[in-house]
Amino acid sequence: MPFEIAIVGGGIAGLAAAIALRAPGRQITVLEQSRLCAEIGATISLQPNASRIMQREWELEGLLERARGMVDQGFRIYNTDGQMVNSVPLAGKAEYEGDRIIYHRQDLHEYMRSEATSPSRAGPPAEVRTSCRVTTCDTEAGQITLESGEIVQADLIIGADGIHSVLRGLIVNETVPTAPTGLSAYRLMVPSALLEQKLPEFCERINPREPFTSMVMAHDCRLIMGPAREGEVYSLVGLVPDEHMHENANTKQSWRSRGDIGKMLETLPTQGQGASQTIEDAEALGAFFDGVGEDPSKTEIEQTLQRIYSCRHERASLIQCYSRQAAKPATDKGSSEIKMRPDEFMDYNCMYRGAKHWQQRHVVAGTA
The answer to the question of residue 342 being in a domain is yes
The pLDDT value given to residue 366? 57
The pLDDT value given to residue 148? 96
Q: State how far the Cα of 121 lies from the Cα of 58, in Å rounded to an integer.
A: 10
The pLDDT value given to residue 31? 98
Q: Does position 245 have pLDDT exceeding 60, yes or no?
A: no
Average pLDDT of 114-137? Answer: 96
The one-letter amino acid at 356: K
Which is higher by pLDDT, 257 or 177?
A: 177
Contact 85, 216 (CB under 8 A): no
Q: Does position 252 have pLDDT exceeding 50, yes or no?
A: no
> Which CATH number belongs to the domain containing residue 231 in this structure?
3.50.50.60
The pLDDT value given to residue 279? 97
The answer to the question of residue 246 being in a domain is no
Backbone angles phi, psi at 127, to 5 degrees: -100, 125
The answer to the question of residue 254 being in a domain is no
Contact 292, 147 (CB under 8 A): no
Question: Given strand 26-31, what is the order of strands in its sheet?
Answer: 127-129, 26-31, 3-8, 156-159
- Alpha helix segments (H runs only) across 158-270: 166-172, 192-198, 200-205, 251-255, 261-264
What's the domain range around 306? 3-178+183-241+268-367
Helix or strand holding residue 222 (H, E): strand 222-228
The pLDDT value given to residue 261? 36
130, 169, 144: which is closest to 14 by C-alpha? 130
The answer to the question of residue 94 being in a domain is yes
Confidence band of 266 (pLDDT split at 50, 70, 90): very low
Average pLDDT of 251-258? Answer: 38
Buried residues in 323-345 as b, exposed as e (16+ CB within 10 A): bbebbebbbeeeebebebebeeb
Contact 232, 106 (CB under 8 A): no
Count of domains for the chain: 1
- Alpha helix segments (H runs only) across the chain: 12-21, 48-52, 105-116, 166-172, 192-198, 200-205, 251-255, 261-264, 274-288, 298-326, 346-350, 355-358, 364-367
Percent with pLDDT over 90 in the chain: 58
The answer to the question of residue 50 being in a domain is yes
The answer to the question of residue 341 being in a domain is yes
What would the pLDDT profile of 14-64 be if each residue is shown by its tens digit? 999 999 999 999 999 999 999 877 767 789 999 999 999 999 999 998 999
